[in-house]
A = this chain, B = another copy of it.
Amino acid sequence: MTNTTLKLLAQQLQLSISTVSRALKDHPDISTATKEKVHALANSLDYEPNAYAIQLRTQSSKIFGVIVPAIANLFYDSFIAAIEEESRKNGYALMILQSSNNPENELNNLKIFRQNRVSGVFACLSAHTHNLEVYEKMSDREIPVVFFDIVPKDNKYTKVRMADERCAVIAAENIIQRGAKRVLALFGDPALSISQKRRQAFQQFMEKYAPKTHCTYEHTNSSLEAETAFKKHLSKIQKFDTVFAMTDEILIGVMKAIQALNIKVPKEMGVISISNGFIPSLYHPNISYVETSGYELGKLAFVQMLANLKGGKTLSELTVDARFIEGGSM
């Protein structure tokens, strides 16, 4: 069965295409009687406007592009979920592509977005992208780009991200409040600015407000590494009484070690992490964490996108604030 078009409707009704088009969108030039007829036939024939023809004519698609390192990720998928919700509300659809942290994929994805003339792009830089030329190309096309999470340093870009330093500071505050004597602080890939920022903020805060608390810092790249690091440090003479995990991945490693060694939380060991909340809720007691919500970040990113689209150049950097969620592990 062939798709119903304006032309078809026009023929059946003995009207011109333009009249049908106008009737369908309630144009004042068209009489009520005609409008009703048109609507009736359109309904019974299941008319669906061809989005491609519209875009071709109006030069504006109702599609946003999204680039994430990976869809299968607790943080990004909640980000996407948020964007999707907002997009639907505003009549947009989403085209989602993953970079797999590969700059080459990133490049290709951007190309697909350009060919589909997306209205805007939400982009999370892949881990080691330094060449932002590709994104310049989008600007040339007047396609707004909102960066999220992993964002470029340059201030000429629109970006939203978590308040990384605040996160680390809140964690530090709670560690001090617990009265921790010795702390093992586990961070992620030292090459990532997010790891650097969090560690720096954490360390500075601890040194300033709790100089007597002994902190050991370590960077690990996987759950397994975190687990190993935890066990290694525990076998030392001076045992630590509190552990800080910068990411879910690290927390997972830590918790495996804690379960394996049957360590009592929070009595024998305090645990705190930065997370969106899902992983911490898997354990008993729930792990206390500083919340970084991908969902909220998504909402914020969308606001930025809309502002950008409306015309105003929003070159600002917005951050979503962090808050402490009490579990029972401190």
Residues of A within 8 A of B (CB): 1, 3, 46, 48-53, 55-56, 61, 63, 70-74, 77-78, 80-81, 84, 88, 93-98, 105, 108, 111-112, 114-117, 137, 140-142, 252, 255-257, 259-260, 279, 282-285
Contacts and interface: CB of A to CB of B under 8 A. Distances in A.
Across the A-B interface, the 4 shortest Cβ-Cβ residue pairs: A259-B284, A72-B77, A260-B284, A52-B55
Contacts of A52: 52-53, 55-56, 61, 116-117
B108 A84 contact: no
Contacts of A255: 282
18 contacts: A1-B140, A48-B111, A48-B114, A50-B115, A51-B116, A51-B117, A52-B53, A52-B61, A71-B84, A73-B77, A77-B77, A80-B96, A84-B97, A88-B105, A93-B116, A94-B97, A255-B282, A282-B282
A146 to B, nearest CB: 18
Nearest to A98: B84
Residue with the highest number of chain B CB atoms closer than 10 Å, among A73, A88, A285: A88
Contact of A78 (B53, B55, B72): B72
A259 B284 CA distance: 6
Given A71-B81, A88-B108, A256-B284, 9 more contacts: A51-B115, A52-B61, A63-B116, A71-B71, A80-B96, A84-B96, A88-B97, A93-B95, A94-B95
